[in-house]
Amino acid sequence: MYIYFNGAKKAYKEDTVAISTVNPATGEEIKTFEELTEGEIDEKIQRAFDTFLEYRKTPLAERSEMLLRAGEILEDEAEHFGSLMTSEMGKTLAAATAEAKKCARGCRYYAENAERFLADEEAELEGARAFVRYEPLGPVLAVMPWNFPFWQVFRFAAPALMAGNVGLLKHASNVPQCALAIEDIIHRAGFPEGAFQTLLIGSGQVQSVIDDPRVRAVTLTGSEGAGRSVGAEAGEQIKPSVLELGGSDPFIVMPSADLEKAVGSAVTSRTLNNGQSCINAKRIIVHEEIADEFQRRFVERMSSLKVGDPMGENTEMGPLATPQILEDVDSQVRKSVEAGARVLTGGKPMDGAGNFYPPTVITNIPEESPAYREEIFGPVASLFRARDIDDAIRLANDTTFGLGSSAWTNDAREQERFVNEIEAGMVYVNRMTESTPEIPFGGAKNSGYGRELSHYGIREFTNIKTVWIDESAEGAGMAAAE
Ligand code: NAP
């Protein structure tokens, strides 16, 4: 059963869902898993806590060696991990293999840079010695989504482990084999068993794990509804939290842009990961001067994408991850069309087995329709026309979300306005939004708070400890007297 917040997506599941792998391309159930009992959860939390007390003392060089080893395993076995991801959530094998390699890059990045990011920082305090030291917090719970089943986890785990924290992973219920494979990689790399453990639990058990005093912080990547409930619980328990939530990213194209490049990127950005990425270009906003030509080329490219078996070498787009997502996307498009939107290509589920939905473009979108107000987590592009730059910025910001954004223009003044005026955690100019370890990733407004990646990401789960050492004779005496 689902409860809705402000008409938004599911917020709380009362019934725990089955933890199982169901092939999204065929509907065939491959493997199911028993949820952990309360006693087993308790044991794992205790193991995490005990491990943390020792692990926090491990020299950074040792942590770094283990993380580099994890990166090697990911690189060497990328194709195997790729086929696991594809069979559980349906992204193409090429994309999944690339994801495993990206995780290897993330591991290398933090293995090589963590020491610099966590070094003591001297404070400017006249006549005194004061500095900041970044200390680990303890066991951190990570509640993760299925859409990038490896990358989402490693972009949490690599910095968290380097900072001296230990991780407890509650992965999405449809990717249990990915969750167990990640745990195995981290153990094979040499990290102690308690440094990273998978909790095979449903979302209904997350609250009690957050409440456990041995768990010191929580990070969630997922929908707005899940973010509200995890953020509220973390607040109740006064524990730090990071929320990476949904988005409805604008992709704005102005007359001075390289049109061909913009069209190509819009197609890639909307259909990447079978249209199920938080930073897909979901709302394409085009200046009216070039809108007809953009629409013609965009619709042509979208409708010619090869959709099919995600294991196939030439497949460009696979199925949606679950029947529920297929139903949600179908219902959002149908309701938008009932409200007056027009379908330019696609627009209904494909026949046959599996959760296939075609690349779809809709336009003439009324303000009160789902395509205008909600995130559509499937390959559906909402196409808007803007009268001028003010109108484009107004449309871009007319959403409760604020994750990424992409603006295409070769006019320097327009670039500056987009950078300053778009309400989002990320603004990319003349390129599509993407994540890479070197730069921070995160949202504004209902897309969440906190940052992952770069030095910002590793410091999220640290205690920024202020140290002031009075080295004067009087000060030392006073301290002794007290
Ligand atoms: P979801 O339903 O919110 O699930 C994400 C995770 O949260 C799963 O592990 C899920 O467990 C758990 N969960 C769900 N409801 C919960 C609750 N009330 N309390 C505690 N845990 C809960 O999200 P999804 O539909 O799988 O993922 C898609 C969403 O994630 C989209 O909105 C997308 O934009 C967002 N996303 C954001 C980012 C980012 O970096 N900002 C990245 C990727 C995805 P179960 O599987 O057991 O339900």
Interval between CA 86 and ligand 1 midpoint (Å)? 19
Q: How many domains does the chain have?
A: 2
CA distance 128 to 146: 50
246 lines ligand 1 (CB under 6 A): yes
> What does the pLDDT profile of the chain (482 residues) look like in tens digits?
333 333 333 334 444 568 999 999 999 999 999 999 999 999 999 999 999 999 999 999 999 999 999 999 999 999 999 999 999 999 999 999 999 999 999 999 999 999 999 999 999 898 889 999 999 999 999 999 999 999 999 999 999 999 999 999 999 999 999 999 999 999 999 999 999 999 999 999 999 999 999 999 999 999 999 999 999 999 999 999 999 999 999 999 999 999 999 999 999 999 999 999 999 999 999 999 999 999 999 999 999 999 999 999 999 999 999 999 999 999 999 999 999 999 999 999 999 999 999 999 999 999 999 999 999 999 999 999 999 999 999 999 999 999 999 999 999 999 999 999 999 999 999 999 999 999 999 999 999 999 999 999 999 999 999 999 988 766 554 444 44
Alpha carbon 375 to its chain centroid, in Å, reads 14
305 with 162, same domain: the answer is no
Distance 159 CA to ligand 1 centre (A): 21
Using a 6 Å cutoff on CB, does residue 186 contact ligand 1?
A: no
pLDDT in tens, 109-131: 999 999 999 999 999 898 889 99
- What percent of the chain clears pLDDT 70, i.e. is strictly above it? 94
> Is 266 part of a structural domain of the chain?
yes
Of all protein residues, the one whose alpha carbon is nearest to atom 40 of ligand 1 is 244
Is 152 domain-assigned? yes
CATH number for the domain including 123?
Answer: 3.40.605.10
Q: Which residue has the tokens 């002794």?
A: 480
CA-nearest residue, atom 48 of ligand 1? 203
> In terms of domains, do 460 and 422 share one?
no
Which residue of the set 103, 107, 178, 278 is catalytic?
278
Coil, strand or helix at 467? strand
For atom 14 of ligand 1, which residue has the closest CA?
Answer: 226
Ligand 1 centroid to Cα of residue 446, in Å, is 14
* Centre of ligand 1 from the C-alpha of residue 379, in Å: 18
Among protein residues, the one with the nearest Cα to ligand 1's atom 8 is: 172
36 CB under 6 A from ligand 1?
no
Dihedral pair phi/psi, residue 64, rounded to 5°? -65, -40
CA proximity to 311, closest of 79, 476, 1: 79
Answer yes or no: do 19 and 154 share one domain: yes
Q: How far apart are the C-alpha atoms of 402 and 292, rounded to whole Å?
A: 28
In 3-state terms, what secondary structure has residue 58? coil
Say yes or no: CB of residue 243 within 6 Å of ligand 1: no
276 CB under 6 A from ligand 1?
no
- 221 Cα–ligand 1 center, Å: 6
Domain shared by 231 and 284, yes or no: no
Q: Do both 312 and 237 map to the same domain? A: no
3-class DSSP assignment, residue 132: strand
N-to-C CA span, the chain: 59
Looking at the structure, tell me whether residues 24 and 113 fall in a common domain.
yes
Q: What is the mean pLDDT of the chain?
A: 95
| pLDDT at position 481 | 45
Return the structure tokens found at 256: 């001075």
Out of 221, 282, 326, give the residue to mutate to test ligand 1, the one with the largest number of ligand atoms within 8 Å of its CB: 221
d(Cα 145, Cα 152) in Å, to the nearest integer?
7
Q: Are residues 259 and 232 in the same domain?
A: no
Residues 6+ apart with CB under 8 A from 216: 137, 138, 139, 140, 239, 240
CB under 8 Å to 60, separation ≥6 — which residues? Answer: 114, 115, 118, 162
**Could you tell me the pTM of the whole model?**
0.95
| Residue 393, in any domain of the structure | yes
Give the domain CATH number at 375: 3.40.309.10
**Are both 40 and 95 inside the same structural domain?**
yes
Residue in 102, 104, 96 with CA at minimum distance from that of residue 73: 104
Sign of CA dihedral 394, 396, 402, 404: negative
Phi, psi of 191 (to 5 degrees): -70, 145
Written as six digits, the tokens of 134 are 């970044």
Q: Is the minimum distance from the CB of 280 to ligand 1 under 6 angstroms?
A: no
- Determine if residue 424 is left, alpha or beta; phi over 0 gives left, psi from -120 to 50 gives alpha, anything else beta: beta
Q: Which residues pair with 3 in a beta bridge?
A: 12
Question: Does the annotation count 103 as an active-site position?
Answer: no
Q: What residue's CA is closest to ligand 1, atom 46?
A: 172
- b/e for 422-437, b at 16 or more Cβ within 10 A? bbbbbbbbeebbbbeb
Domain that holds residue 377: 249-429
**Taking phi first (over 0 means left), then psi (-120 to 50 degrees means alpha), and beta for anything else, what does residue 346 get?**
left
Question: What spacing in Å lies between the alpha carbon of 3 and ligand 1's midpoint?
Answer: 14
What distance in Å separates the CA atoms of residue 309 and residue 311, rounded to the nearest whole number? 5
Atom of ligand 1 nearest to the CA of 143: 9
Are 145 and 441 within 8 A, CB to CB? Answer: no
The residue whose CA has the least distance to atom 25 of ligand 1 is 223
The pLDDT assigned to 475 comes to 55
In a domain, 471, yes or no: no
Q: For residues 115 and 173, what is the distance between their CA atoms, to the nearest angstrom?
A: 35
